[in-house]
Chain A
């Protein structure tokens, strides 16, 4: 069945005042490797149909992965019954009306049709290069395609197809490890030769690490670590629900210059450098939203619910679908706009600092100031007098990301697209101060 047929069937069968149909069909394949061989190789074909029914100002939601006619017709009835068994919610102003969509292209047939043997060849390249260096590699390569559609009884009808390719590896020696990742909507974004070379280089550089001393350092973050700054700040406050509940770092800071003037963060789902998608889970056009402009906080992203409960606000096309909870809107295509520097120059200009490949297991300790604890992983290097002087073992940090970004000293001119699970596009960054609280023996 086509999405149009599914939507028409559900909308015709719905007893509700308003009905919304969200459809997603996904083919996802993943080849996983460790110890220089493939140990897991999987593929999945699935579809999800999520129906939201409205009775007055009440919503009920039902999900199924069956496209059988009986199941499709039952879904709106189930959702409508759920809607009726609850009090009215005056904050809910109804499903959104149609709005013009901008076309984006995020579909690549080579990615959609990628075979297990093509993934195995890519993975084999990484394993071979690691073995040639005397190391072992672990990691995964994923290719997926998705058909995505949203329709509602007020006339919204939107559908698109997207693809995603991602590969990552950690290469390990007896005493060190190195990480590399590449993502994009085209298979050609993932170059396994380059991926392996980057991880091998990092592993070699990290051998025989010393014990890192806790304390404050200037840090240079690879894009993998920079991505964590953005994704954590997104969850901790770039959505309007967090802002309205006063648990966002944007609360009390809109219009204020909080970060370095070098820092501009935007969410842009139309930029082909990310993973483009034209509309959100309510079929609303995804708008380009500037969240931080040259260090000045501008505001969060909205869906129709959060826009409806705040005077003067409108949906920016950032609704996230969920049956289990109202997560609120989130930016899923974040960009940290590039600067003019590069990692080599950042290192050369650093008297004492750390060059960090990526962060691991970061968790927010205090959301209002985005104080986060986490570990460095897969390549932490000490910088002395403008040069890498050796590697150190992983360090734990506890640091306000806001304070750290206020001290931005340089941003790389080349960004990297990373998937995990939203998309972001980020360059390397140099931060004046970052606080490390312990090391691992």
Chain B
């Protein structure tokens, strides 16, 4: 692979590229799904291919192919150069990539159990065991479970001398119960709403304790059908860490992507309210809000050795003591701010160009015990596990729904609530945060389904959070 990668760089130079990089990727994924006592999906997928990105003068080109042969490397590299020359027909400003990147070495996700060494029988057995417990509850209409195992082997080279290999393992999964009445549908999932995934081996799945939580998932789904509807009011809101992880993803992660700020996602994913004049001046959140982007935390879905431009994994603050500090960046966008990239360029496969993507964007832990936070709340709502999510193209106006809620009265959880929703405006919401759970309650969640870019890319991102409290939030937004 290294030879082929080097060949592409030589061809790109010969054809006139002033910069080039190549990623050759072999991927394997295996999915097991069960539903209502039978196997619903059992698939094994293996793909291979490469993508060549070139910069000719100040214009980019990218071409990719599934045929990893010497002849195809030459053809596709030449095609990438031809495409870059076509891009020059509608030219932009000069492109500065900053200092050269010459990363070398190898990286492998630390794993305890290779997920591809675990038998299909064991994977099916785990899910069917949980499924059987869920279906014991006669109120459950649909019971389902799913696990996925992924391995990417990447070879990267660029025309500046970088050449490395990395192998990334991911595992994830969840179980869920759906209960149905004449007028309503209620869902409970564990550990998260079909989105719990991280880098790691099969141990990540075992830590999810699907079987141990199956009965609770079923009984909560059924109980929700007869629960009271979340009241419509302005109140205090406490979010569990998994819902807060998605809140971070949508209202912190996306607006700090610098390509959005510079407008290159304007027609699709959207732009950002965090324009460059706000760095160091905007009080994004209250003084206890600290947000970090890292690609080094164990089990994070944004954890790797190098990003897809060869920048080593790192950790950088986005919000410090509530003040907006910086962005998720690529080499090209960082240089426009006079900075170096913090390594956030990621592609979802060999056939896609790298884009600025979240790594692990997390809310750092605070000092509170969750029970103290509830005891300290006179009137409010506690919400847990995402059910729906929506946010505007500037990442300001959001509305989320959760699977479950509890009313809080006089410092105690009282009645169960269904169809819980809350809404707000990003900086107002984060400035209303007055309590964050401590390290004990902090968990690094994974969001495997973040869509961005054209053609659409689906990326996994990590988000750590502990439960947190927000004041004066509008809840119960629906008809």
* B479 in complex: contacting residue of A33, A142, A399, CB < 8 Å: A399
State how many angstroms separate the Cβ of A19 from the closest Cβ of chain B. 15
Contact across chains for B120 and A85 when beta carbons are under 8 A apart: yes
Alpha-carbon separation in the docked complex, A91 to B34 (Å): 13
Check: A87 CB closer than 8 A to any chain B CB: yes
Q: In the bound complex, what is the Cα–Cα distance between A324 and B477 (angstroms)? A: 34
Question: Which of A30, A82, A139, A374 has the most B CB atoms < 10 Å from its CB?
Answer: A82
Q: Which residue of B lies closest to A59 (CB)?
A: B42
Q: How many angstroms from the CA of A169 to the CA of B45 in the assembled complex? A: 35
Among A31, A34, A396, A400, the residue within 8 A (CB) of B264 is: A34
Chain-B contact segment, one of A7-15, A289-297, A362-370: A362-370
Take A62-B43, A138-B263, A245-B178 as given contacts and tell me if A41 and B392 are in contact as well, using a CB distance cutoff of 8 Å.
no
* Contact residue among B37, B62, B423 (Cβ-Cβ distance under 8 Å from A437): B423
Q: Is B83 an interface residue when CB atoms closer than 8 A count as contact?
A: yes
Q: Of B220-228, B368-376, B395-403, B435-443, which binds chain A? A: B395-403
Q: Are B423 and A438 in contact (CB under 8 A)?
A: yes
Complex CA gap A31/B85 in Å reads 12
Query: In the complex the two chains form, is B396's CB within 8 Å of A440's CB?
Result: yes
Question: What is the interface residue range for chain A against chain B?
Answer: 35 or more
B residues less than 8 Å from A115 (CB atoms): 86
The reply to whether B419 and A366 form a contact with Cβ atoms under 8 Å apart is: yes
Q: For the complex, give the distance between the alpha carbons of A375 and B93 in Å.
A: 33
In angstroms, Cα B33 to Cα A362, docked, is 27
Is B281 part of the binding interface, using a Cβ–Cβ cutoff of 8 Å?
no
Q: B197 within 8 Å of A by Cβ?
A: no
Q: Roughly how many angstroms separate A172 CA and B148 CA in the complex, as a whole number?
A: 42
B residues 93-112 in Cβ contact with A at 8 Å: 93
- B394 contacts the other chain (CB 8 A): yes
| Interchain CA distance A62-B49 in the complex, whole Å | 18
Contact of B39 among A58, A116, A123 (CB under 8 A): A58
Residue B351 is within 8 A (CB to CB) of chain A in the complex: yes
Contact B46 A63 (CB under 8 A): yes
Query: A86–B42 contact, CB under 8 A?
Result: yes
**What chain B residues lie within 8 Å of A62 (beta carbons)?**
43-45
Known contacts: A42-B63, A124-B89, A323-B45. The answer to whether A366 contacts B266 by CB under 8 A is: no
Q: Does A204 contact B (CB under 8 A)?
A: no
Q: Is the CB of A325 within 8 A of B42?
A: no
Q: Which 5 A-B pairs have the closest CB atoms?
A: A37-B92, A323-B43, A116-B86, A138-B266, A86-B39
Q: Pick 29 A–B contacts, CB within 8 A, sort by A.
A: A32-B454, A34-B263, A34-B266, A35-B262, A37-B93, A38-B89, A38-B90, A43-B63, A43-B79, A44-B64, A44-B351, A44-B455, A45-B64, A61-B41, A78-B44, A82-B42, A85-B124, A86-B42, A87-B38, A123-B90, A169-B267, A247-B185, A325-B146, A365-B419, A367-B185, A394-B392, A394-B393, A437-B477, A438-B477
Residues of chain A touching chain B, judged by Cβ–Cβ distance below 8 Å, are: 28, 30-47, 58-66, 78-79, 81-83, 85-91, 115-117, 119-121, 123-124, 127, 136, 138-140, 142, 168-170, 172, 177, 245-247, 252, 322-326, 360-368, 371, 373-375, 377, 394, 396, 398-400, 435, 437-441
